[in-house]
Amino acid sequence: MNSEPLYEGKAKSVYRSEEAGELVVRFRDDITAFDGEKKDVLPGKGVFNAVVSAFFFTYLEKRGIATHFIRMVNERTMIVKELAMVPLEVIVRNRAAGSIVRRYPFSEGQVLDPPVVVMDFKDDTRHDPMINDDIIVALGLLTREEIAAIRTRALEINRLLSEYFREQGITLVDFKIEFGKREGSIVLGDEISMDSMRLWDMETGESLDKDVYRFDKGDVLSAYERVVQRIIPGYFGGKE
């Protein structure tokens, strides 16, 4: 783990593990937006994202969703199963916000019922263009059956996460997940964090996610910390 990272992304570093078939994922304090045009370092941010990701991977796994998560080695580092990642961003939207409002005539906050699933091709140099089933098949990324399975899985994850957030007084507006393959089956990978979800406080409508950073809406770290406080009771030892 002291060796060179296998892969250095914009917010996480991935290292080889001593154990075959496992990887070490370290959540860094870097935060970026707008294809990396805006970037900063927020000390402690990686810890908040790592603990929330670990919490939700465990939560989903208990409810029958296969995830890559194995265990935490420290508060910002997790051991995961190595996956052959599918280069797609699977986005589930319960309310219209962000790019879907810029691109289509939805109003900000409009309820999307049933939820809308969108897939983007994960390629920063091409600005992650939206993709469709025919293109996914033509590129050889997935079969039609696999696309259908991912869509069903994403909606089930949405149901489970939305329910949990609702109980904490938070609306899960939308989120992005990534899947990979392992021994022929589809497994949820990457992260589930305040960088990858849009979360609105049900009472105040305040953003509790990366939009605070994108649009300079206030103190990003304190927003992330409040999510940890509300999502993982006892994480801060009971002190508020």
Q: State the Cα–Cα distance between residues 166 and 199, nearest whole angstrom.
A: 10
Q: Measured from the CB of residue 37, what is the shortest distance to ligand ATP in angstroms?
A: 12
Residue nearest to ligand ATP (CB): 9
**Opening angle at CA 65, ends 96 and 8, nearest 5:** 75
Q: Measured from the CB of residue 60, what is the shortest distance to ligand ATP in angstroms?
A: 14
Token output for 50: 């790592």
Q: Measured from the CB of residue 168, what is the shortest distance to ligand ATP in angstroms?
A: 25
Q: Measured from the CB of residue 205, what is the shortest distance to ligand ATP in angstroms?
A: 27
Is residue 11 exposed (0-12), middle (13-18) or buried (19+ Cβ within 10 Å)? buried
Residues 6+ apart with CB under 8 A from 67: 57, 60, 61, 187, 188, 189
Residues at the site binding ligand ATP, with contacts judged by CB under 6 A: 7, 9-12, 14, 23, 68, 80-83, 85, 178, 180, 189-190
* Closer by beta carbon to ligand ATP, 36 or else 109: 36
* Closer by beta carbon to ligand ATP, 84 or else 202: 84
DSSP 193: S
Centroid of chain to Cα 116: 16
Q: Is the dihedral of CA 193, 197, 201, 206 positive or negative?
A: positive
* Closer by beta carbon to ligand ATP, 179 or else 200: 179
Residues 6+ apart with CB under 8 A from 9: none
* Closer by beta carbon to ligand ATP, 81 or else 95: 81
Q: Measured from the CB of residue 90, what is the shortest distance to ligand ATP in angstroms?
A: 12
DSSP 124: G
* Closer by beta carbon to ligand ATP, 45 or else 68: 68
